[in-house]
């Protein structure tokens, strides 16, 4: 009897080569194999008499082979096997291309089931390359719903399907049900064995749906338990206790007052830092909500308490910007602010590292360079990371590994629907800044089509004439002739704009450039040396160019709502009235609905909720922007209800059994720990 951990090579038909192909798909053990869920299904469960099949329809037919299959050479390299099959209603010409062996396997008089696409021209009916087998063949591939798997070179559907079939037969009985009985019953979920069987080989569509629900629940539930336990362990570990100081003293130094949301977020973080527990807090706030200011307040608080802080930005240019902002705010108060980025010369870096080690900086701002192995800190009390998307859970633990457990504050500008945040950020405490600083104007957003091109150019000219700058975002880097629809490419579009506006300076930046080149083009734009910056989504990252007042997104239908919102956040950051123009010729109702939401609201959380409603959570989990291990729910198509239930049940269970140490929870505990081990090896 095979075990779940048995190597896939144990399967008949999987040798060294095929095993390697399976490895590429993430399948190593039998458990991986049976957890390799189909990406879709083909409904081969319907049978019809030949005469009733419609043109283009895919169904099964039961037919008798009416003549002897013959081999026809059409030309070199192209051979056909042809024959006619009949039932009581009619006949169909069947052809196999370059599958000569069929001739030997099919004989006149055979009674077979064929599944394929019927083509009708005039009175002639034909099928090309249908699947065939004896009716009622054991573990057959007709007369049922058939799985379709993701493949890679070296594997075909048949091999994967047969391997999964064997895998289920070999270890299906060894499959423990990790869901506690009460939860399974409470949530009306089917048993593990049933779910794994029917997700691959569904008895019918109802069985498929029941299985899908169970497996999505299971995956989210395990994740929620794992993150919940991480949080539980963290809470029980001691952290630096910072002596309290009154934040009011810091707020008073500002030219404006903090918003209530900023005060609340800062107060929540301060409560963590004086509690004796290590802080691990996420500040979620829309672009422009003033997260940096909250970070500055906490850096000040840490300094007051006698500790230093490190602030990590995702790119060089953002590190420079944060360095300028933070030292502008904090240096006058007496903090010594330093910088450490990859772009600095070897000598500068050496000096910065020495200064960090000897405690000469109260705050250091930098990039990943801050946490490379040879950097040592003195009295590091707080680590702030500003990220476009979430870092891997393990990357964050590398930060925490520096010094004596500094407090960690993570800032994220990607609004995530609350229902999802509960799961995705289950290991962190979350503060939400749900209020913008006063006087912030909304970015007026419009959707236009190609017919507005002239007027759009006029608008660009007008904005630049008033001294403003313009972002233009395209979905592609370069021209691609192979695409069925023509999409704007940054490079081509920049050339076109340069021709249309000979008097203006146009630059282009995209993800295929070297980081240095990218940074210098962005820096030139930020410095006002360029009028129009044509870019791909590389500019999504929060660069601050207060003088930019117009964001144009070409082929807006190609972008997700949250992405459009991030892009729009690049303008409206100064005192100038700002605009976002979404250019799209696509008039499908779904696209129109999405773009309308953009025009209606500037609230990132509402937009992300709408995005979730329109597209389902699969996209969030599939995008890998959350730093969590790869999930199958994206493939299975989770819905929000299951998400919520899994989260609630996990929380409830951990309250009763925080260590999952009750005997009945052993299989669950094992799965949760497997996820932790994965974490130790790096989630990303």
Q: Which residues would be at the binding site for Mg ion (CB under 5 A)?
A: 542
> From the centroid of its chain, how far is CA 246?
40
CB 460 within 8 A of CB 532: yes
Phi, psi (rounded to 5 degrees) for 278: -80, 130
Phi, psi (rounded to 5 degrees) for 564: -60, -40
C-alpha 557/C-alpha 587 separation (Å) is 9
Closest residue to Mg ion: CB criterion:
542
CB 170 within 8 A of CB 5: no
Q: What minimum distance in Å lies between the beta carbon of 604 and ligand ADP?
A: 10
Q: Whose Cβ is closer to ligand ADP: residue 373's or residue 438's?
A: 438
Residue owning tokens 């998400």: 643
The pairing of strands 111-121 and 58-65 is antiparallel
Q: Whose Cβ is closer to ligand ADP: residue 362's or residue 434's?
A: 434
Q: Whose Cβ is closer to ligand ADP: residue 435's or residue 657's?
A: 435
C-alpha 428/C-alpha 555 separation (Å) is 37
Partner in contact with 287, chosen from ligand ADP, Mg ion, none, beta carbon below 5 to 8 Å by kind: ligand ADP
> From the centroid of its chain, how far is CA 416?
12
Q: What minimum distance in Å lies between the beta carbon of 289 and ligand ADP?
A: 4
Partner in contact with 572, chosen from ligand ADP, Mg ion, none, beta carbon below 5 to 8 Å by kind: none
Q: Which tokens in the block code for residue 394?
A: 């393990």
Q: Whose Cβ is closer to Mg ion: residue 388's or residue 500's?
A: 388
CB 321 within 8 A of CB 395: no
Partner in contact with 258, chosen from Mg ion, ligand ADP, none, beta carbon below 5 to 8 Å by kind: ligand ADP
> From the centroid of its chain, how far is CA 570?
21
Q: Whose Cβ is closer to Mg ion: residue 130's or residue 542's?
A: 542
Q: Whose Cβ is closer to ligand ADP: residue 305's or residue 604's?
A: 604
Q: Whose Cβ is closer to Mg ion: residue 432's or residue 638's?
A: 432
Classify residue 642 as exposed, middle or buried by CB count within 10 Å of its CB (0-12, 13-18, 19+): buried
Partner in contact with 293, chosen from ligand ADP, Mg ion, none, beta carbon below 5 to 8 Å by kind: ligand ADP
Q: Whose Cβ is closer to ligand ADP: residue 465's or residue 528's?
A: 528
C-alpha 140/C-alpha 201 separation (Å) is 10
Q: What minimum distance in Å lies between the beta carbon of 292 and Mg ion?
A: 5
Question: Cα dist. 573→540, 567, 589, 675 in Å?
Answer: 14, 12, 32, 41
The pairing of strands 90-97 and 124-128 is parallel
Q: What minimum distance in Å lies between the beta carbon of 291 and Mg ion?
A: 6
Q: What minimum distance in Å lies between the beta carbon of 414 and ligand ADP?
A: 11
Q: What minimum distance in Å lies between the beta carbon of 440 and ligand ADP?
A: 7
Partner in contact with 636, chosen from Mg ion, ligand ADP, none, beta carbon below 5 to 8 Å by kind: none
Q: What minimum distance in Å lies between the beta carbon of 439 and Mg ion?
A: 18
Q: Whose Cβ is closer to Mg ion: residue 542's or residue 572's?
A: 542
Complete DSSP assignment for 283-301: EEE-TTS-HHHHHHHHHHH
Partner in contact with 437, chosen from Mg ion, ligand ADP, none, beta carbon below 5 to 8 Å by kind: ligand ADP
Q: What minimum distance in Å lies between the beta carbon of 576 and ligand ADP?
A: 13
Q: Whose Cβ is closer to Mg ion: residue 542's or residue 617's?
A: 542
Q: Whose Cβ is closer to ligand ADP: residue 147's or residue 572's?
A: 572
Phi, psi (rounded to 5 degrees) for 511: -70, -15
Q: Whose Cβ is closer to ligand ADP: residue 427's or residue 434's?
A: 434
Q: What minimum distance in Å lies between the beta carbon of 400 and ligand ADP?
A: 23
With H, G, I as helix, E, B as strand and everything else as coil, classify residue 596. helix
Rg of the chain over all Cα atoms, to the nearest angstrom:
30
CB 553 within 8 A of CB 493: no
Q: Whose Cβ is closer to Mg ion: residue 384's or residue 631's?
A: 384
- Measured N-to-C along each axis, helices 192-200 and 205-236 cross at an angle, to the nearest 10 degrees, of 130
Q: What minimum distance in Å lies between the beta carbon of 615 and ligand ADP?
A: 25
CB 18 within 8 A of CB 162: no
Q: What minimum distance in Å lies between the beta carbon of 320 and ligand ADP?
A: 14
CB 24 within 8 A of CB 160: no
Q: What minimum distance in Å lies between the beta carbon of 575 and Mg ion?
A: 18
Question: Taking the CB of residue 395, how many other CB atoms lie within 10 A of it?
Answer: 17
Classify residue 275 as exposed, middle or buried by CB count within 10 Å of its CB (0-12, 13-18, 19+): middle
Partner in contact with 382, chosen from ligand ADP, Mg ion, none, beta carbon below 5 to 8 Å by kind: none
Question: Cα dist. 463→380, 440, 493, 557 in Å?
Answer: 46, 20, 19, 25
Classify residue 69 as exposed, middle or buried by CB count within 10 Å of its CB (0-12, 13-18, 19+): buried
C-alpha 315/C-alpha 491 separation (Å) is 23
Q: Whose Cβ is closer to ligand ADP: residue 62's or residue 390's?
A: 390
Q: What minimum distance in Å lies between the beta carbon of 422 and ligand ADP?
A: 22
Partner in contact with 6, chosen from Mg ion, ligand ADP, none, beta carbon below 5 to 8 Å by kind: none
For residue 442, what are the contacts with CB-CB under 8 A and spacing of at least 6? 572, 602
Partner in contact with 228, chosen from ligand ADP, Mg ion, none, beta carbon below 5 to 8 Å by kind: none
Q: Which residues bind ligand ADP (CB under 6 A)?
A: 256, 258-259, 262, 285, 287-293, 413, 437, 542
Question: Taking the CB of residue 321, how many other CB atoms lie within 10 A of it?
Answer: 20
Closest residue to ligand ADP: CB criterion:
290
Q: Which tokens in the block code for residue 188?
A: 């009306």
Q: Whose Cβ is closer to ligand ADP: residue 353's or residue 565's?
A: 565
Q: What minimum distance in Å lies between the beta carbon of 673 and ligand ADP?
A: 37
Q: What minimum distance in Å lies between the beta carbon of 465 and ligand ADP?
A: 25
CB 340 within 8 A of CB 366: yes
Question: Cα torsion at 580, 584, 588, 594 (round to 10°)?
Answer: -20
CB 195 within 8 A of CB 210: yes
Alpha-carbon torsion 326, 332, 335, 336, what sign?
Answer: positive
Partner in contact with 338, chosen from ligand ADP, Mg ion, none, beta carbon below 5 to 8 Å by kind: none
């Amino acid at each position: 009897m095979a075990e779940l951990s048995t190597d896939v090579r144990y399967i008949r038909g999987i040798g060294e080569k095929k095993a390697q192909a399976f490895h590429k798909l993430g399948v190593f053990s039998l458990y991986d194999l049976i957890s390799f869920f189909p990406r879709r299904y083909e409904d081969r469960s319907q049978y019809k008499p030949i005469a009733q099949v419609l043109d283009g329809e895919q169904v099964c037919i039961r037919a008798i082979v009416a003549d002897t299959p013959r081999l026809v050479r059409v030309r070199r390299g192209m051979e056909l096997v042809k024959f006619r099959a009949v039932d009581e209603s009619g006949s169909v010409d069947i052809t196999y291309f370059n599958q000569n062996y069929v001739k030997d396997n099919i004989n006149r008089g055979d009674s077979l089931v064929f599944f394929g696409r019927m083509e009708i021209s005039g009175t002639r009916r034909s099928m090309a390359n249908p699947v065939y087998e004896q009716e009622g063949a054991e573990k057959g591939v007709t007369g049922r719903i058939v799985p379709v798997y993701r493949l890679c070179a070296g594997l075909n559907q048949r091999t994967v399907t047969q391997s999964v079939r064997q895998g289920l037969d070999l270890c299906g009985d060894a499959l423990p049900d990790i869901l506690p009985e009460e939860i399974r019953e409470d949530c009306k979920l089917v048993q593990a064995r049933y779910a794994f069987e029917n997700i691959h080989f569904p008895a019918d569509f109802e069985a498929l749906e029941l299985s899908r629900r169970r497996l999505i629940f299971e995956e989210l539930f395990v994740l929620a338990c794992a993150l919940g336990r991480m949080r539980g362990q963290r809470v029980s570990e001691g952290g630096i206790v910072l002596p309290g100081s009154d934040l009011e003293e810091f707020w008073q130094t500002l030219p404006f007052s903090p918003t209530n949301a900023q005060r609340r977020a800062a107060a929540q973080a301060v409560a963590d830092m004086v509690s004796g527990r290590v802080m691990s807090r996420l500040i979620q706030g829309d672009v422009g909500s003033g997260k940096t200011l909250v970070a500055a307040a906490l850096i000040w608080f840490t300094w007051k308490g006698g500790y230093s802080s490190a602030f990590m930005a995702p790119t060089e240019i953002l590190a420079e910007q944060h360095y300028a902002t933070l030292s502008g705010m904090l240096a006058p108060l007496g903090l010594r602010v330093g910088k450490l980025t990859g772009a600095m010369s070897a000598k500068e870096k050496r000096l910065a590292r020495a200064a960090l080690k000897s405690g000469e900086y109260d705050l250091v701002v930098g990039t990943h360079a801050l946490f490379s192995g040879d950097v040592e800190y003195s009295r590091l009390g707080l680590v702030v990371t500003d990220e476009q998307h979430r870092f891997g859970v393990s990357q964050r633990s590398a930060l925490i590994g520096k010094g004596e457990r500094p407090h960690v504050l993570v800032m994220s500008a990607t609004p995530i629907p609350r229902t999802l945040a509960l799961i995705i950020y289950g290991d962190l405490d979350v503060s939400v800044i749900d209020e913008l600083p006063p006087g912030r104007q909304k970015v007026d957003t419009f959707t236009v089509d190609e017919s507005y091109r002239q007027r759009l150019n006029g608008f660009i000219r007008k904005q630049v004439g008033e001294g403003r700058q313009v972002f233009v975002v395209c979905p592609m880097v370069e021209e691609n002739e192979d695409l069925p629809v023509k999409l704007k490419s940054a490079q081509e579009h920049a050339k076109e704009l340069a021709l249309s506006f000979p008097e203006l300076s146009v630059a282009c930046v995209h993800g295929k450039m070297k980081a240095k080149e990218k940074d210098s083009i962005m820096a030139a734009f930020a410095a006002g040396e360029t009028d129009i910056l044509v870019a791909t989504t590389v500019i999504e990252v929060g660069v601050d160019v207060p003088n930019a007042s117009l964001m144009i997104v070409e082929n807006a239908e190609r972008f997700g709502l949250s992405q459009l919102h991030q892009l729009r956040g690049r303008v409206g950051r100064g005192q100038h009235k700002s605009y976002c123009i979404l250019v799209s010729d696509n008039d499908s109702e779904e696209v129109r609905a999405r773009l309308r939401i953009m025009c209606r609201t500037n609230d990132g959380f509402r937009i992300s909720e709408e995005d979730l409603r329109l597209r389902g959570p699969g996209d969030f989990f599939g995008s890998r922007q959350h730093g969590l291990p790869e999930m199958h729910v994206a493939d299975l198509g989770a819905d929000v209800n299951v998400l919520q239930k899994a989260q609630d049940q996990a929380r409830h269970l951990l309250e009763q059994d925080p260590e999952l140490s009750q005997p009945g929870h052993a299989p669950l505990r094992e799965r949760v720990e497997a996820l932790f081990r994965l974490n130790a090896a790096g989630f990303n």
